[in-house]
Amino acid sequence: MSSVGISSRPGLMWFSSPQTFFPLAGRMTAWFFALAAVLAAGGLYIGFFVAPTDATQGESYRIIFIHVPAAWMSMFLYLMMAFWAAVGLIMNTRLSSMMASAIAPTGALMTVLALITGSLWGRPTWGTYWVWDARLTSELVLLFLYLGFLALQAAIDDPRRADKAGALLALVGVVNVPIIYFSVQWWNTLHQGSSVSLTRSPSMAATMLLGMLLMALAFWCYSIAAALHRVRSIVLEREKRAEWVRELSERELKAPRGLK
């Protein structure tokens, strides 16, 4: 048993403690940010300088190297937010609810990015920035769900009550994710179908696909890094009265400036 009262035998439950997870998240954040930068540099170079010009859409199609990964992440992050919110609601684990809160802003950012780049892509493709297309409308609903989650948590002073209220909203909103994904199959929509699928060969050139996948990985790594960085701030805010946080603050104050 260490001086702070945590078992020396690591396990999954061991990392569910905010005190244990805090330094681990700090180490992982820097690596994921660096990996995101490297992958984004490679993906953007291939997407904008190596991939061939599209025969139908010309050069304007290149916005998909930002739009598609952002759209993917907007849906994936919502599922992750709802998952951690549900774990926190069912198992009453503090760190799970903190993870849900940390993921939400990045999910909202990805949704905004998907909507903006989609509008810019729609102008030369459809002749307008916006149509009330099934996929665009359901993606807009996703943004409102993210903003509603953030606003609901901010409106309730008690963190526990805020976490429970946010979890209920997040779980209700999960139904919108399959609507976004399958909207082009369920309705007559202007939005083109998926160019990348797990059930069939990709309908794009190999270099286009490589650039797309690199950008998707870059967005994924960035989202992990941003969530980990944010959850550390949430941990410090919610655990500020804990002894280990006070000890951490004292060590930070005593440490030489160059070592902080």
| Domain spans, the chain | 29-191+203-249
175 burial class (0-12, 13-18, 19+ CB within 10 angstroms)?
A: exposed
pLDDT recorded at residue 1: 36
* Tens digit of each residue's pLDDT (9 = 90 or more) over 198-237: 445 556 778 888 999 999 999 999 999 999 999 999 988 8
pLDDT of residue 103: 97
Query: Which candidate, 187, 178, 68, 191, places its Cα nearest to that of 130?
Result: 191
Query: CA-CA distance, 11 to 7, in Å (whole number)?
Result: 10
Contact 108, 154 (CB under 8 A): no
> 170 near 88, Cβ under 8 Å?
no
The CA-to-CA distance between both ends of the chain, in Å, stands at 28
Q: Could you count the other beta carbons within 10 Å of the beta carbon of residue 140?
A: 16
Distance of CA 116 to the CA centre of its chain: 17
* Distance between CA atoms of residues 102 and 213, nearest Å: 25
Long-range contacts of 54-61 (CB under 8 A, 24+ apart): 57/124, 57/125, 58/124, 60/121, 60/124, 60/125, 61/121
Which conformational region is residue 52 in: left (phi greater than 0), alpha (psi within -120 to 50 degrees), or beta? beta
pLDDT over 70 percentage in the chain: 80
**Is the entire prediction scored with pTM above 0.75?**
yes
Phi, psi of 150 (to 5 degrees): -65, -45
Quote the tokens at residue 194: 């998926």
What's the CA gap between 189 and 65, in Å, rounded? 22
Residue 58: beta bridge partners? 54
User: Mean pLDDT of residues grouped by 10 in the chain (260 residues)?
Assistant: 40 61 88 97 93 78 90 95 94 90 97 93 77 85 96 92 94 92 64 54 76 95 96 86 68 54
Number of H helices, E strands in the chain: 8, 0
| Residue 14 CA from chain centroid, whole number | 25
Distance (Å, whole) CA 88 – CA 96: 5
Residue 176 tokens read as 């919108």
Identify the helix (H) or strand (E) that includes residue 32. helix 18-45
Q: How many residues does the chain have?
A: 260
Predicted pLDDT of residue 195: 58
CA angle 103, 104, 108 (to 5 degrees): 120
CA distance 82 to 171: 6
158-179 pLDDT, tens digit per residue, is 999 999 999 999 999 999 998 8
DSSP letter at 157? S
What is residue 225's predicted lDDT score, i.e. its pLDDT?
A: 97
